Amino acid sequence: MLGERSEQRGLWEADRLYLDHVGRDTFYGLLASLRGRLFRDADFAEFYCADNGRDSVPPSLLATALLLQTHDKVSDAEAKARADFDIRWKVALGIEVEDRPFAKSTLQVFRAQLILHEKVREVFESSLRLARESGYLKRRSMKVALDTTNILGRGAVKDTYNLLADGIVKLMRTLAAVEQTKVKEWAQAQGYQRHLASSIKGEAAIDWSNRGARQALLAGIVRDADRLLELSRQAQGELGEDSAERQQIVAAAELLGQLLLQDIERQSPDGDGEGDGEGDGDDGVSLRDGVSRDRMMSVHDPQMRHGHKSSSRRFDGHKAAIIVDTDTQLITAVDVLPGNAPDNLGALELVEESETNAGLPVAEAVGDAAYGDGATRQTFADAGRRLVARVPGRPNRKHFPKDDFVIDLAADSCSCPAGQVTHTMVPAGRRTDAAGRVHRLRAFQFDGAVCRTCPLRPQCIAAKGRKGRRVLIHPQEALLQQARALQQSAGYDEYRARRVVVEHRLARLVHLGIRQARYFGRVKTKFQLYLAATVANLTLVAGEIGLSDSVGGGVETHRAVPSDVNDVQAVSHGVAAHAAAIFGAVRLGQLWSQILFASALLPKAPSPSRAFRPGF
């Protein structure tokens, strides 16, 4: 059943006793001040049975613990230890010093529930709700900036030999589970035991400089994979169409089949192959040349992809896409894209999600050159939205670029650098854009006779060409012309400044640990990104409006505690005497021990940020 925290604050709770010691202006003090405002237990009621079982750990406490874990970048085991022994966490959680609030498994199950019920977005939205309620986000519209950064995947990246072996092992485990036997016993019975080694390449006693030996090993692995796929087909036939076991076998078999398809080339018996990969020996199999477009490089995280942020900066994993309100620096929407996806994938949908999360309309969106292609501009224009992005530059060539020609779409004319004007337009084929739309292209054609006598001919067209210069008209030529005109105006400096804001927020997210994925798969990685964005927003709002200066709920806390032990002890006698008159002698001993506990430790804690671990 749902366990709920009482609205009544306790005298012995850590945020009442040690808030000033930990620091009101720290993240821990901030969460203490937001208790009861940021999360409500009733918001998570769907996770629990309504009328049966014992009371759960309050979900608002667990949600706060997940934010602390993200802020401190610690494991589940360390998060449990800090909740038990770290006074900063106890202050943030609002629990008594002696409390051990949750087990590690309780935190893990709560995280799984957030992901399964897709509630983590509501956790993120709580930071934006706080910004609205506090008056930090109070404008009528937003100007947002978009950008992405890479996330290194959690799965192990392996070469083709070990990757195929991992796929074989995954399917073996599935088949063994269906037959209710251990995978080691199943592998021995079927002759697959060599694939259970930590590295099939490491265990292979071959001369790796010998091409034939390499080829023989590869052919053996492919034969094992083919035979295992046949066994999986036989197992599927013995199971019901909708059975869970059959679906698991199908998923594992499809994964292994995809690995074979992307990395292996097979030659037909007559010797006609698809390419010259490494070797064409046993069974006519060889490594495929190059890298498949959507290559899978990890069995443990099949959603990881080879990606690059530039021609020299490559990575294996995913991309984090975010939108930031450039006036408040609040992150208003996030997403996780495939590592090989273009940065502008789903940009419009992310802007729309930003409006929903923040509760404010987006007046305009700003992006870098990755968002400046014609198809993305057209998508925004069709939706009635304004997109400001730099038009991608053109490579330096020996001939005049298109930018040196003046295209007047209203007059259907094109002027060249020599001053010649043409109104002749000719078909120029078709082009399919990133959105899958097919465009019939047109181009302005200059008269060949005029171009042959032009003094600028060597700088414009090839020396042997007899035709005149042709200038292609982009399908979104009008939108690109508007963008180039804005880039050259004095007002474009404002957009450069606004775009820098999203770079700063990405740096903050990287500082909170999103460069390395903690979990497998894009769904769980997005969970990590949501939590990091929530922490970034909370610390930003608190710093701007001073939320941590007061404790929420009207709880009055002690002011700064004197650093001198004698002063503390002198004050503590008066406090204890006053408490005895109010609460009686039963609680007096406990209060006295708490005061002495604090006074004994104060000289040993020179900095509020230093970890404080009472020895219970």
Q: Taking Cα atoms as reference points, which of 436, 435, 308 lies closest to residue 376?
A: 435
pLDDT band at 52 (very low <50, low <70, confident <90, very high): confident
Nearest-angstrom CA–CA distance, 148 and 337: 9
Nearest-angstrom CA–CA distance, 377 and 387: 7
| Percent of the chain clearing pLDDT 70 (strictly above) | 85
The reported pLDDT for the residue numbered 548 is: 52
Mean pLDDT (whole number) for 378-395: 90
Nearest-angstrom CA–CA distance, 289 and 227: 25
The reported pLDDT for the residue numbered 547 is: 60
Q: Which residues pair with 322 in a beta bridge?
A: 147, 334
pLDDT tens, residue by residue, 239-256 = 888 899 999 999 999 999
**412, pLDDT greater than 80:** yes
Mean pLDDT of the chain: 85
Mean pLDDT (whole number) for 84-109: 95
Nearest-angstrom CA–CA distance, 370 and 352: 19
The reported pLDDT for the residue numbered 270 is: 57
Q: Taking Cα atoms as reference points, which of 593, 553, 551 lies closest to residue 96?
A: 593
Question: Picking from 4-8, 396-400, 566-570, which range would have the lowest pLDDT averaged per residue?
Answer: 566-570
What is the phi/psi pair of residue 417, to 5°?
-60, -20
The reported pLDDT for the residue numbered 605 is: 40
Mean pLDDT (whole number) for 280-300: 81
Side-chain half-sphere exposure of 283, counting CA atoms within 13 A: 18
**98, pLDDT greater than 90:** yes
Nearest-angstrom CA–CA distance, 374 and 434: 9
Mean pLDDT (whole number) for 395-416: 88
Exposure string (b/e) for 312-351, b if CB count within 10 Å is 16 or more? eeebbbbbbbbbbbbebbbbbbbbbbbbebbbbbebbebb
Nearest-angstrom CA–CA distance, 603 and 592: 18
Q: What is the DSSP string of 58-95?
A: PHHHHHHHHHHHHHHT--HHHHHHHHHH-HHHHHHHT-
pLDDT tens, residue by residue, 156-167 = 999 999 999 999
Q: Indicate the SS3 state at residue 616.
A: coil
Q: What is the DSSP letter of 462?
A: -
Kindly give, in sequence order, each residue whose CB lies less than 8 Å from that of residue 298, ignoring residues fewer than 6 positions away: 153, 155, 156, 157, 158, 163, 304, 316
Q: What is the DSSP letter of 303?
A: T
When computed from its CA atoms, the radius of gyration of the chain, rounded to whole angstroms, is 32
Strands 362-367 and 387-389 turn out to be parallel
**497, pLDDT greater than 80:** yes
> Is the distance from CB of 338 to CB of 147 less than 8 angstroms?
no
pLDDT band at 5 (very low <50, low <70, confident <90, very high): confident
421-422, strands of its sheet edge to edge: 406-408, 413-415, 421-422
Question: Picking from 16-30, 65-79, 533-547, which range would have the lowest pLDDT averaged per residue?
Answer: 533-547
Sign, CA torsion 308/309/312/316: negative
The reported pLDDT for the residue numbered 593 is: 53
The reported pLDDT for the residue numbered 283 is: 65
How many residues are there in the chain?
A: 616
Burial class (CB in 10 A: 0-12, 13-18, 19+), 413: middle
Nearest-angstrom CA–CA distance, 570 and 446: 96
Nearest-angstrom CA–CA distance, 333 and 136: 17
> Is the distance from CB of 337 to CB of 345 less than 8 angstroms?
yes
pLDDT tens, residue by residue, 116-149 = 999 999 999 999 999 998 888 888 899 999 999 9
The reported pLDDT for the residue numbered 300 is: 93
Kindly give, in sequence order, each residue whose CB lies less than 8 Å from that of residue 167, ignoring residues fewer than 6 positions away: 225, 252, 255, 256, 259, 299
The whole-model pTM stands at 0.83
> Is the distance from CB of 47 to CB of 117 less than 8 angstroms?
yes
**Alpha helices by DSSP H, 473-521:** 477-487, 492-511
pLDDT band at 602 (very low <50, low <70, confident <90, very high): very low
The reported pLDDT for the residue numbered 290 is: 81
Taking CA atoms, 181 is separated from 178, 246, 545, in Å, by: 8, 16, 61
pLDDT tens, residue by residue, 447-480 = 998 998 899 998 888 767 678 999 999 999 999 9
E-strand stretches of 453-607: 470-473
**436, pLDDT greater than 80:** no
The reported pLDDT for the residue numbered 321 is: 97
The reported pLDDT for the residue numbered 309 is: 77
Nearest-angstrom CA–CA distance, 129 and 302: 36
**483, pLDDT greater than 70:** yes
**Alpha helices by DSSP H, 373-433:** 374-382
**564, pLDDT greater than 50:** no
> Is the distance from CB of 612 to CB of 605 less than 8 angstroms?
yes
pLDDT band at 257 (very low <50, low <70, confident <90, very high): very high
Burial class (CB in 10 A: 0-12, 13-18, 19+), 398: exposed
The number of beta carbons lying within 10 Å of the beta carbon of residue 14 is: 28
**99, pLDDT greater than 60:** yes
Residue type, 453: T
What is the phi/psi pair of residue 148, to 5°?
-135, 160
The reported pLDDT for the residue numbered 549 is: 47
> Is the distance from CB of 2 to CB of 48 less than 8 angstroms?
yes
pLDDT tens, residue by residue, 301-336 = 999 999 987 777 899 999 999 999 999 999 999 999
The reported pLDDT for the residue numbered 279 is: 46
Nearest-angstrom CA–CA distance, 56 and 407: 69
> Is the distance from CB of 438 to CB of 432 less than 8 angstroms?
yes
The reported pLDDT for the residue numbered 240 is: 86
